[in-house]
Structure formats: structure tokens, C-alpha cells
Amino acid sequence: MQLKRVVVTGLGALTPIGNNIQEYWSGLVNGVSGAAPITYFDATKFKTRFACELKNFTATDFINRKDARKMDRFSQYAEVASDEAIADSGLNSTDHNPDRIGVIWGSGIGGLETFQNEVLNYSAGDGTPRFNPFFIPKMISDIAPGQISIKHGFRGPNFATVSACASSSNAIIDSLNYIRLGHADAIVTGGSEAAVTIAGMGGFNAMHALSTRNDSPETASRPFDKDREGFVLGEGAGALVLEEYEHAIARGATIYAEVLGGGMSSDAHHITAPHPEGLGARNVMLNCLRDARIKPEDVDAINMHGTSTPLGDIAESKAIKEVFGEHAYKININSTKSMTGHLLGAAGAIEAIASILAIQHGIVPPTINHFTDDEAIDAKLNFTFNKAQKREVKIAISNTFGFGGQNACVALKKMN
């Protein structure tokens, strides 16, 4: 069958380096670090005492207090970012068929703070089970797309994707497929995460996954650097409105980029460690190129998963060289996690947005905090270290890999 073309007509972002699209892009191109000491709770006794929290954000500036109390932070973030994207797109349920507009949203963990606090409150009590009546609907991951659809009256496909750090990339791919197969005219997609909590920091510390560079948080996320020693936990949300091309043209929508395709794969190797030879990363990029019907030499930029972990950065770099061959040295590759930290299930959304903005503006954001080359990583690759680089980006891909071995890759193209 003839697949329909899918384009991006709306963007929204709530990140540690900017609370909207304009601020986010400014933070990216200027190499701003979002890492700072934790303010949400007393982290004095934690091995890692910093994170990439949102700055100057109050949910009740956007959501009325009564509704905000019924939502975990991850749902609040989802609503704020999606509101920006929907307003940007001009979509609404009055002028367009609401039965043909869906919401597919990703979150790796969902309402972790809600779960944590309910358990802590019970533990501190006398054993009488007193739980918030909104405990369950605040916690479940699928409540975020539910809240978005309720607010905007969108009655199309509605569900959540959960694949750890690949969650929102999988949401984008699912949205792409629903639209190009003709099951929807438009879908609000993306992801949100709010894991900077006692349980989140404690759990990732117990895994030895986080950087412990407490004396210099702003330089702690240093992908591909010899002295990297773990990722920096981030939070926030990214939202995109994906729309069938002819539908977008008919209503005169602004088009940011075309979504060419998406790939998925599994490492089938380890619950947290990547395949040492980057097998899953290689396969997911090949699957993406195949689905997008493009050749390796068509790609100009890659927003890497690039978390700043000792094993992951090496494996992904190997995979890129294997997939792209000599063309790998002509690609601008970068890791925006060096600035935003790792937003877990929201990473794919904000990084796809970074790729779209790179296409739009002809600027590839930097990988900051590079001090020392790692002999295990090919220094001839262009990692866009420390400073943004101007170049025309016609096609970009964005990688996200999750615990459990789930991998997702999205291909985006400049509109002619």
C-alpha cells in the first residue's frame, strides 16, 4: 500500500536548560549545562547530590491548583509541553475531527514520586492504610496521554509506550506508523519524566549508573571523554505534533520537518549494559535507514544516545563506524545529554526536537565538557565538541537506547 507522508507541525519543550522551545534551543546552541545541586530534597547523604532539574518552573503557573494536585510531576510536565506544541501547531478539536487526532506518549517510569511518597507516608504512620484516592491514576504511565486527550478533546488512538530510555522515541515511531497507515490525521506525541526523587537518585546510585562529580556538577555529563563516569539524571518533557502531510498542507500549517522513518531493535544481551560491539545500536540504525528508504551517505547529523557512561559511548561509536563506514567521518555527531542530562523516557522526544531545530537553523548543537580524548573512541569522528557548528542538515537521525536492551532510532528530513 502507499504510505502517507508524515510531518512535524508543532513543538513543545520543558527542559533543564529551557522551559519552552525558544529557551531550549538557546541553551543548546550556547552549550549551557543544566546540572546543579539538587533542590527537591536533602541529598546530603547521597553519593550523587546533583541533577538536571527544571529551573524557575511552577506547575500552577500553567495548570490550576486543583488539577495540579491530582497529577504527578511527570504528568504536569507532559501537559505543559504538549500545550505548547498543540498551540504551535494550531490544531484543535473544534476545527478538526477529534476522532482523527490521537495522543501517544512515552515515559520510562511514570509517577515515581507519587509512588514513593505514598509508601513513605504509610511507613511513617500507625499501619492504618490511608492512601490518596488519586494514588493510582497519578502514578500510571498512561495517565499522561489520558490527561492531554481529556484537556483537548482528542479522541483518536491514545496510549503510553514504556521502553525505558527509548520510550518517547517509540512513541514517535508508533505515531508515525498510525498516521502513515491512515489511522489518524494527527497525533500529539513525545515523553515526560520526573525521576529526580529520593527513590530515583537512590536507585540509580545503587546501580553505579550516575556520575558522582559533586565538586563540579556542570562538567559531570561528559560523553566520549576519557574521564566520564556515569550519566547525570535529568527531568522534563518534549512534545511534537505529527500530522499527515496533505492534512497539514490543506490547513496551511507550518511544517518543521518530515519524519521519514523509524527503527527498533533489541540488544538481547544484558539488563543494563549495552552489547559490547554495539550490535543493537548497529541494527537499530540500519533498520531506521531501511524504513526511511535512505542511504547511509544521506545522513548529515546524528544525535547520539551518548549518556556519558564508560561502556555505552564506546559501543555506540563502534556501531556508527560500522553502519556509515567512511561517511561516518563526514557526519556531525553529538550528545545533547551533555547539557540536559539524561531525561530517561523523555530523552528521545527532546533529542528529536534538537535534531529538528538543527535542521531548521543549520546549526548542530555541541557536545560540551570534552577535555580528554578516549583512546577507545575514534577521535577522527566529528563529535561537535564544546562548540556548536554551522552546517546544512538535510537529514538527521536520533538514537535512544534503554535498559533491557530496547533501542529506537528516528529519521528526520528538511522540507524542500
Report the catalytic residues: 165, 305, 342
Residue 56 has a CB neighbour count (10 Å cut-off) of: 6
Q: Report how far residue 230's alpha carbon sits from residue 208's, in angstroms, rounded to the nearest whole number.
A: 8
> Which of 56, 52, 17 lies closest to 220, judged by CA?
52
Q: What is the rounded CA–CA span in Å between residue 255 and residue 251?
A: 11
In this structure, are strands 257-266 and 406-413 parallel, antiparallel, or unpaired? Answer: antiparallel
SS (H, E, C) the chain: CCCCCEEEEEEEEEECCECCHHHHHHHHHCCCCCCEECCCCCCCCCCCCEEECCCCCCHHHCCCHHHHCCCCHHHHHHHHHHHHHHHHHCCCCCCCCHHHEEEEEECCCCCHHHHHHHHHHHHHCCCCCCCCCCHHHHHCCCHHHHHHHHHHCCCCCEEEECECECHHHHHHHHHHHHHHCCCCCEEEEEEEECCCCHHHHHHHHHCCCECCCCCCHHHCCCCCECCCCCECEECEEEEEEEEEHHHHHHCCCCCCEEEEEEEEEECCCCCCCCCCCCHHHHHHHHHHHHHHCCCHHHCCEEECCCCCCHHHHHHHHHHHHHHHHHHHHHCEEECCHHHHCECHHHHHHHHHHHHHHHHHHCEECCECCCCCECCCCCCCCECCECCCEECCCCEEEEEEECCCCEEEEEEEECCC
